[in-house]
Structure 1
Amino acid sequence: MKPLTLLFGMAPWVLFSMIADRLGTGAVGWAALAACLGSLVLAVRGAVTDGLKVIDAAGVVTFGALAAIGLASGPDVQRSLVDYGRGGAALVLGTVMLVSAFTVPFTEQYARASIDRRYWGSPAFRAVNRRISLLWAGIILVMAVCHLLAGALGTGDILLNWVIPVLLVLGGLKCTEAVASAAGVGGGTAGART
């Protein structure tokens, strides 16, 4: 699996955070709408090329709801969305990732593009993707806590909203590569050990 492909799927989630953080209360509904449309583009693209991805579908639903709330509400609700929307969205994303680890790991949907089809059903392939999905679920849930704490502090905290999340993502990328490489499913047409 190419970890950067996984990050590309999370782009709408980052887009929402950046726009809402920079433009504030009046733009939070529009930020959610932009993220919803970004998720929709990824969902349609994925559905056409290699199947709908759970992260994209979760983005469409999550940001569609946030857009509706943000565009239809007043300044007090919009302020809450700016303060807690990023953490709430991350909480939804982390929960979706966590649940997928016990059903069909969301990382399988990305890994299939770089793994020979004959390995897709192997127990090793599923186990590696379960580990990687749990890793990312943990990372995103920790980020959610950081974002919610920053919202509660009301400071727009750079450490909690950006520094720690970026470090977590960089660490997650390294761990993803290490887990995949150790299992022999790192990339190209490499096979999974069975």
Structure 2
Amino acid sequence: MRSTNLLLGLVPWVLFSMIAERLGADAVGYAALAACLGSLVLAVRGLRADGLKVVDAAGVVTFGVLAVAGFAAGHHVRELLVDYARGGAALVLAAVMLVSVLTVPFTEQYARAGIDRRYWESPVFRSLNRRLSLMWAGIISVMALCHLIAGALSASGGGFSSNILLNWAVPVLLVVYGVKHTDRIAEGARPTGSAS
């Protein structure tokens, strides 16, 4: 599995965070709409290529709900969305990833594109993808916690440094760790004769 394919599925989640933070409460509905449309594009692309990805479907639903709230709610609720929706969306994503471990691990949906079909039902393939999906659910859960703490600090007048640390530095380090670990496991487990 190439982690770049997995990271592409996370782009709408980052897009929402960047737009909402930069443009503030009056643009939170637009930020959610942009993320919803980005998730929809990825979902349609996935349907045409190799099937709907659970992360893309979760993005369409999550950001669709946030867009409706962002457009329909008053200014106070939009302020709350700017402070806490990033963490809330990350919690939804972590929950989707965690539940996928019990059904079809979400990483398996990405890994199938780079591995011969005969290995898809392999216990090793399934086990590795359960571990990877569980790892990513943990990473996104920690990110969600960081985002929620940053939101609470921001709502109480917290400083710029806590925003940079909790909303950007820690999440970026976590994603870098996740990508490196995913790539290391994928390379070590690649069967002979499989596609990359």
Cα distance in 1 for partners of 2:191, 2:97 equals 20
Match of 2:165 among 159, 162, 167: 159
Provide the residue aligned with 2:60 in structure 1: 60
Shift of 1:185: 5.3
Shift of 1:106: 0.2
Mapping for residues 1-194 of structure 1, pairs under 5 Å: 1-154=1-154, 155=158, 157-184=163-190, 188-189=194-195
Q: 1:105 to 1:73 in 2, by over 3 A?
A: same
Q: Find runs of 4+ consecutive structure 1 residues off by over 2 angstroms.
A: 181-190
Q: Deviations over 1:128-149 (max 9, x none)?
A: 1001101110000000000000
Give ranges in structure 2 of 5+ residues lacking alignment: none
Shift of 1:179: 1.7
Cα distance in 2 for partners of 1:36, 1:189 equals 32
Shift of 1:189: 2.3
One-letter amino acid matched to 1:94: A
Cα distance in 2 for partners of 1:112, 1:181 equals 14
Q: Deviations over 1:85-129 (max 9, x none)?
A: 000000000110011011100001100110000000111100010
- SS of the residue corresponding to residue 66 of structure 1 reads helix
Cα distance in 1 for partners of 2:7, 2:45 equals 16
Contact in 2 for aligned 1:177/1:186 (Cα 8 Å) = no
One-letter amino acid matched to 2:22: R
Aligned residues: 190
Cα distance in 1 for partners of 2:192, 2:98 equals 22
Cα distance in 1 for partners of 2:139, 2:164 equals 18
Contact in 2 for aligned 1:115/1:188 (Cα 8 Å) = yes
Contact in 2 for aligned 1:39/1:56 (Cα 8 Å) = yes
Shift of 1:48: 1.2
Contact in 2 for aligned 1:180/1:186 (Cα 8 Å) = no
Shift of 1:188: 5.0
- SS of the residue corresponding to residue 52 of structure 2 reads coil
TM-score (norm 1): 0.95
Contact in 2 for aligned 1:119/1:125 (Cα 8 Å) = yes
Cα distance in 2 for partners of 1:62, 1:185 equals 36
What is the alpha-carbon root mean square deviation over aligned residues?
Answer: 1.5
Give ranges in structure 1 of 5+ residues lacking alignment: none
One-letter amino acid matched to 2:71: L
Cα distance in 2 for partners of 1:30, 1:187 equals 46
